[in-house]
Amino acid sequence: MAPVIASKFDHIPYAGIRKVFQKANELEAQGQKVVHFEIGRPDFDTPAHIKEAVKVALDQGHVHYAPNNGIPALRTALAMRLQVDKGLNYDADNEIMVTAGGQEALYLTFLALLNAGDEVIIPDLCFGPFALGIILAGGVPVRVPLQPENNYAYDLAAAKQAVSPRTKAIIVNSPHNPTGSVLTKEQLAAVADFAITHDLLLISDEAYDKMLYENSYISPAGLPEMKERTIVCGTLSKTFAMTGWRVGYIAAPAAVVGAAVRAQQNVMLSLCTFAQHGAVAALTESQACVTAMMQEFARRRKLVLEMIRQIPGLELPGIPQGAFYAFPRITLPRVTSAQVADYLLNDAGVAVVDGLAFGEGGNGHFRISYAVSYEDCRLGLERIAAVMSDFQKKYG
């Protein structure tokens, strides 16, 4: 008998970003130089003091199961950083848990909150696992458009039309993947008011909370009346160049965390123990490594924005103020983003992500991740400029 796959997987495609990454690696294996603008992974090594803390933990024998919600020292360190960096007060014992990266934090949140058929409002554009994680948890993602001319904030009039008796939550992601936009306090407050008015939970994806080029971070959990209805999902992956370590967290009301812990104990039991000791060092020791990394990202961002502005057939609807992404729009009327992305990879050796991977609102755009070296940023954009110049001659 052939395996009978659950019907929900009819709606769970392979991740678009990973398909590009795999194809780029195949081209590299054939000897081609590929510029990796597709992957949201800082190219820096994890800082030495974090790796040293893991070596010490290994030597001390921290190689066995950890508590389902994470080791106490890490939960305490997370509570400290949330208070220092965002002014949020969470009980380390009951309102914080450690997860396998920010993506599992989101998935456990969906498992904890959603009954079959419950709806979650998500932004169109957004990180792909928002929708797919909701579906896996038995929920229904409801996409609401963003406003490029308004800092990629939600179109709250459209969101109001999307609310139904089954709507349970709304997701906010700032800094935003894929555009790099950062919501103002007023825009966050508008979403918070929307959640209160319609009695919704608010899930805040804060993966890029330390990656800001202007101002300081504002979490919706810190707004009036919002802590008890906000679930913060975070990660150390981007901030400390720890993507392979898989260390994230949930900060939320105790009932939500308790349900997520019960899901965790049946999904993967607990996170790697010695990796958690490294995470403690990341959070409690000097943050100079974060500052240095952001200075380099700012240098790359300046180059990327300057070069994109000079490329024929491209424009930037908004200026990225956080993360390490740019999301240019193709202005040539007879060229699709899929054509551009495929040509750039196969013929120019530049891996970008077709904007459609982030929702219908991404049609006609592509995402650039400048989490590569300064030299590769320049090389990749020179190649993009040459391709777009050729396209303009053919299709402009």
Express each pLDDT in 1-58 by its tens digit: 567 778 877 777 777 676 777 777 777 788 888 899 998 899 999 999 999 999 999 9
DSSP letter for 237, please: T
Contact status, residue 232 vs residue 251, Cβ threshold 8 Å: yes
CA nearest 275: which of 248, 250, 245?
Answer: 245
Cα distances (Å, whole numbers) of residue 396 to 9, 232, 310, 367, 392: 40, 45, 16, 21, 4
d(CA 253, CA 262) in angstroms, rounded, equals 15
Residue 218 makes CB contacts below 8 A (sequence gap 6+) with 86, 183, 185, 188
Q: What is the pLDDT of residue 396?
A: 64
d(CA 24, CA 44) in angstroms, rounded, equals 20
Q: Alpha-carbon torsion 74, 76, 79, 84, what sign?
A: negative
The per-residue pLDDT string of the chain (396 residues; one tens digit each, 9 = 90 and over) reads: 567 778 877 777 777 676 777 777 777 788 888 899 998 899 999 999 999 999 999 999 999 999 999 999 999 999 999 999 999 999 999 999 999 999 999 999 999 999 999 999 999 999 989 999 999 999 999 999 999 999 899 999 999 999 999 999 999 999 999 999 999 999 999 999 999 999 999 999 999 999 999 888 999 999 999 999 999 999 999 999 999 999 999 999 999 999 999 999 998 999 999 999 999 999 999 999 999 999 999 999 999 999 999 999 999 987 899 999 999 999 998 888 999 999 999 889 999 999 999 999 999 999 999 999 999 999 999 999 999 998 888 776
Q: Is 20 left (phi over 0), alpha (psi -120 to 50) or beta?
A: alpha
pTM of the model: 0.94
Q: What is the pLDDT of residue 2?
A: 63
Angle at 153 between CA 148 and CA 157, to 5 degrees: 105
Q: What is the pLDDT of residue 8?
A: 77
d(CA 66, CA 105) in angstroms, rounded, equals 17
Helices then strands, counting H and E runs in the chain, come out as 12, 15
Report the share of the chain in percent with pLDDT over 70. 98
Domains for the chain: give ranges and CATH numbers.
Answer: 7-45+289-395 (3.90.1150.10), 48-284 (3.40.640.10)
d(CA 377, CA 99) in angstroms, rounded, equals 32
Instruction: Copy the structure tokens of residue 42.
Output: 């800082």
DSSP letter for 278, please: H
Angle at 219 between CA 217 and CA 224, to 5 degrees: 130
